[in-house]
Structure 1
Amino acid sequence: MTLSANDYLKRILLSPVYDVAVNSDLQKLDKLSAAIGNEIWLKREDQQPVKSFKLRGAYNKLSQLSDEQLKAGVVASSAGNHAQGVAYSAKRKKIMATIVMPETAPDIKVEAVRELGGEYVNVVLYGTSFDQAKDEALRLSQELGYTMVAPFDDEDVIAGQGTIGRELLEQNPDLDTLFIAVGGGGLISGIAVFLKQLKPDLKIIAVESEESACLQAAMQAGKPVPLNHVGIFADGVAVKIIGQEPFRLCQQYVDEVITVSTDEICAAIKDIFDDTRVIAEPAGALSVAGIRKYLKSNPMTGKKFGGILCGANINFHTLRYVSERCELAEQKEAVLAVKIPERKGAFKAFCDVLGGRAITEFNYRYSTDREAHIFVGIKLREGKKEYLALSSKLNEQGYQCFDLSDNEMAKLHVRYMVGGRPPSLLNEKLFSFEFPEHPGALMKFLDTLGENWNITLFHYRNHGAAEGLVLAGFEIDDGRRAEFDEHLAKLGYIYQEQTQNPAYKFFLSDLNGVFAE
């Protein structure tokens, strides 16, 4: 039976989530507010016992189960915050919960689930993806009679998340626009169905990662549709298809959907830290990233914007990646490929043209007796305007430049590999892979390809996620390309050929690169 808006209103008002959840603070971000000329208010769901809003929906779901269902136990599949919410709720209810997590789930999250659930939780590690873990949870539910606790596509879970809307209305009834992160849609649908009934003029904007925009895809198609692939950085919203019930509610109550890039998310993590000294997880910073992006397209001042810090369960090692990327997102740094003359004093002359700007990174590689190719990072004080002026000045001085600030492969790999040209010309093909972090994954890669083709380049960097990113080059004879592609298909990893990427051609391939005359 489809619930009406009024049904949701009643369920949200009567929800017992405060048995375990706290009425989290709504904090004004003073520094960010001053910087962008509008009041920015942030709902601090990182204050929950499990450091995310997921506790609300999980506990509300368990509270609606019959004694018979509770006695039989529950099962859930999750790689992170939902698992912790179910574990904590099961312990409070003193019922058994089985949590199925992918084998690739970070140890910090697996241990957190075990600690939060104690003797009431059994963690099962299964498969190398969320989808495989979900299938195993469904099997256990059907065979053993466990009640499935869905992460977002469930009316009781949605109502539990909707209690945030109730608190927001009490804490600041004057908000003009509310920005809410979207993964599977449980959070935004619960809040929206509540607030739109009581304050219909409040604008609600969904914010998605560009790498997992399942709501945007559903809105365009008129129904939930699966994405071919989702990104791995903002893992808390890495959902391939929006939930059916959340989508129904979003169609009625969400005013707009916007997407943000990885760099914009990193900048938002820094914004939140500057005001709160709290480190949001990437998904938790989506709403602030959305506010910044929205105001770039819709300049205004004196308004009251709200966002939700929906989680702070970040892997510590992810922070180095965030730190590297936030400066680029705020346009406080630019990274460039530049050709300079190969002669004594050329670097000093180049720095003189920069006019005293701080150099954040400089990578040099001898190219020929005539010229050198450099990879340089430059600190900017005035953003894009300053970069355009600098670029014009460099061109006037005869320097050939290529802006790599938006080149993903350059930022992920090439900046750490400059100087790796082969000593002689190779028939080299370059590929980027998403590489699962589980025992045996590297050997699978090498067993499938390593003995058949010469690996000419291999760069791996872990960003603290369930999957790493790999850049690999292979020497492939033209007559064996079809055979290589067949072996690549057997590998089963997500990949993309990068042989024509200008960052690769300029720094890592033969001398017939992008700037060759």
Structure 2
Amino acid sequence: MPHRYIKKILSAQVYDVAIESPVDPAPLLSKRFDNNILLKREDLQPVFSFKLRGAYNKMMHLSDAERAKGVIAASAGNHAQGLALAALKLGVKATIIMPKTTPQIKVDAVRRRGAKVVLHGDTYDEASIHAQKLVNEKDLVYIHPYDDPDIIAGQGTIGMEIIRQVTGPLDAVFVPVGGGGLLAGVAAYIKYVRPDIKVIGVEPEDAACLKAAMDAGRRVKLAQVGLFADGVAVGQIGKETFRVIRKTVDDVITISTDEMCAAIKDIFDDTRSIAEPAGALALAGLKKYIESSGARGQTLLAIDSGANTNFDRLRYISERTEVGEKREAIISVTIPERPGSFKKFCGLLGRRSITEFNYRYGNSRDAQIFVGVQISPDGNDRAELVQGLEQKGYPVLDLTDNEMAKLHIRHMVGGHAPDDIKEELLYRFQFPERPGALLNFLTQLGQQWNISMFHYRNHGAAYGRVLLGLQASKGDRKAVETFLGQVQYPFTEETDNPAYVSFLSGRTTS
């Protein structure tokens, strides 16, 4: 029974390597959602993840003979770092099998701590199979990342700390789920000591092995697992973890990639720290719980489980955040192909800011534009935006939930100019980024030349950047640039840029 874990958690040996991580308030989130929102900061551990708790506790329970053999584990990164640190402290040789998809920051961190790293397969499950093979070949001791009572007890010390640290009311605790070690340990402790507190697991929609098991009443192996949240990319919940979870956990919530990205930004705004996708998973679930339950005035805690993400992933995360926060709608709109259409369209958006604008001249009748528009996360602003444009006679296609549009199409809108664009001048602009800046730019641009290409994306920088094509000849260049000088935004002509000539212009490169 789960209560047998209480003694194991109370006696777990973790604090030789782990800290008692703080519970920090999230004031911005709390005010926004009218609840007292707290973050358990496991991202502040020496390996930037909770995983060293279970790894060290398991190592401390090995015999001298087992330690002498050396240990091996399969891990997407965080368990690997925890085990590597534990092995280094105890003088034990460690081999870690990691999926080839593991972020480089995690691979490098494991190697720095003296462990041998073997990259194998694309998922945790493939790495695990290879690790089991090496256990038999080299007579090593396998340290499971989650499905082991000593691992579960080590992670359960987080639940013990939460109960000790949050002395006032606590309505619900949200815990990320991969294989289930953290959720099982935390739920076992909290439900024994404070059964009134809800414990809710949170997992990605594309790696929802716990929800599948809960729905089926038994463990289910997923055919495919998404890799965005690599720290929880597990195809089947653990056997022992599921035994504990099904008796202690109140609910499980699944989260989209966009919702995870939004939660990463939320954590940054409140703590100035950057969570990895799995690290922000619990907060994303907390937000979804508030939305679905209408909770107000409650104390809700999310475990920020880790901060091991590659820096170059932040560009993708930033790109998806506004949609995840329901603050951006992505739409395709058909407008008339004539001077002044852009400006008129922008005027119809009212106080909403344009976050993205992609367009390439297609024919002399209609212009198909790809637009990102800032919307209010409350109410039906997105639906009202689409309905309002349709009532004005603009055909609209809502692409906000279209994964292909967000991943690929937004970057591919364009192509070479058609035959009826005989001549074109290309300019690159920058202007101070503030509300209404794009409309102001278009207003000053006027209607003297037809816009044949337009690309704009607000990336949160101080200056917005626009790539503009005008139907004008090189003989018009002086008049165009005299006019553009009056707009008073810095610009650079790019008509002869080889990238433009190769991919966007109607000219040949020969």
Verify same fold: TM over 0.5.
Answer: yes
Instruction: Select 1:30's aligned residue among 7, 24, 27.
Output: 27
Instruction: Select 1:315's aligned residue among 310, 316, 325.
Output: 310
Instruction: Select 1:358's aligned residue among 341, 353, 356.
Output: 353
CA contact (8 A) 2:360 2:417 kept: no
Correspondence for 1:325:
320
Q: Alpha-carbon deviations, 1:144-199, whole Å to 9, x = none?
A: 22110001111110010001011011001431111111010000001111111111
Tell me if 1:45 matches 2:42: yes
Structure 2 counterpart SS, 1:18: coil
Question: Any stretches of 5+ residues in structure 1 without a counterpart?
Answer: 425-517
Question: Any stretches of 5+ residues in structure 2 without a counterpart?
Answer: 420-510
Correspondence for 2:62:
65
1:223-242 → structure 2 map (5 Å cutoff): 223-242=218-237
Q: How far has the Cα of 1:105 moved from its partner? A: 2.9
In 2, the alpha carbon distance for the partners of 1:305 and 1:37 equals 11
| Two-structure CA RMSD over aligned residues (Å) | 1.6
Q: How far has the Cα of 1:384 moved from its partner? A: 4.9
Correspondence for 1:16:
13
Instruction: Select 1:208's aligned residue among 199, 203, 220.
Output: 203
TM-score with structure 1 setting the length: 0.78
Instruction: Select 1:258's aligned residue among 253, 265, 281.
Output: 253
Tell me if 1:403 matches 2:398: yes
Correspondence for 1:99:
96
1:283-298 → structure 2 map (5 Å cutoff): 283-298=278-293
Question: Which amino acid is 1:228 matched to?
Answer: A
Q: How far has the Cα of 1:386 moved from its partner? A: 2.6
Question: Which amino acid is 2:105 matched to?
Answer: I
Question: Which amino acid is 1:154 matched to?
Answer: D
More displaced stretch, 387-396 vs 370-379: 387-396
Question: Which amino acid is 2:15 matched to?
Answer: Y
Correspondence for 1:462:
none
Q: How far has the Cα of 1:382 moved from its partner? A: 5.6
Work out which of the two has the higher radius of gyration on C-alpha atoms and give 1 or 2.
Answer: 2
Q: How far has the Cα of 1:67 moved from its partner? A: 0.6
In 1, the alpha carbon distance for the partners of 2:101 and 2:358 equals 34
Call closer, same or farther: CA 1:208–1:106 in 2, change over 3 Å. Answer: closer
Call closer, same or farther: CA 1:350–1:301 in 2, change over 3 Å. Answer: same
In 1, the alpha carbon distance for the partners of 2:111 and 2:50 equals 19
CA contact (8 A) 2:334 2:367 kept: yes
Q: How far has the Cα of 1:132 moved from its partner? A: 2.9
Q: Alpha-carbon deviations, 1:117-140, whole Å to 9, x = none?
A: x2xx22222334433321221111
Tell me if 1:79 matches 2:110: no
Tell me if 1:192 matches 2:187: yes
- Aligned residue pairs, count: 418
Structure 2 counterpart SS, 1:220: helix
Q: How far has the Cα of 1:383 moved from its partner? A: 4.6
CA contact (8 A) 1:330 1:383 kept: no
Identity score, percent: 54
In 1, the alpha carbon distance for the partners of 2:102 and 2:315 equals 19
TM-score with structure 2 setting the length: 0.80
Q: Alpha-carbon deviations, 1:420-476, whole Å to 9, x = none?
A: 48989xxxxxxxxxxxxxxxxxxxxxxxxxxxxxxxxxxxxxxxxxxxxxxxxxxxx
In 1, the alpha carbon distance for the partners of 2:192 and 2:207 equals 29
1:74-223 → structure 2 map (5 Å cutoff): 74-116=71-113, 118=114, 121-173=115-167, 174-223=169-218
Structure 1's consecutive aligned runs of 4 or more residues displaced over 6 angstroms after TM superposition are: 421-424
Correspondence for 2:462:
none
Call closer, same or farther: CA 1:306–1:129 in 2, change over 3 Å. Answer: closer
Structure 2 counterpart SS, 1:348: helix
Correspondence for 1:505:
none
In 1, the alpha carbon distance for the partners of 2:409 and 2:304 equals 33
Call closer, same or farther: CA 1:105–1:260 in 2, change over 3 Å. Answer: closer
Q: How far has the Cα of 1:79 moved from its partner? A: 2.3
In 1, the alpha carbon distance for the partners of 2:99 and 2:326 equals 37
CA contact (8 A) 2:97 2:127 kept: yes
In 2, the alpha carbon distance for the partners of 1:7 and 1:293 equals 32
Structure 2 counterpart SS, 1:17: coil
Question: Which amino acid is 2:224 matched to?
Answer: H
CA contact (8 A) 1:331 1:384 kept: no
In 1, the alpha carbon distance for the partners of 2:377 and 2:23 equals 32
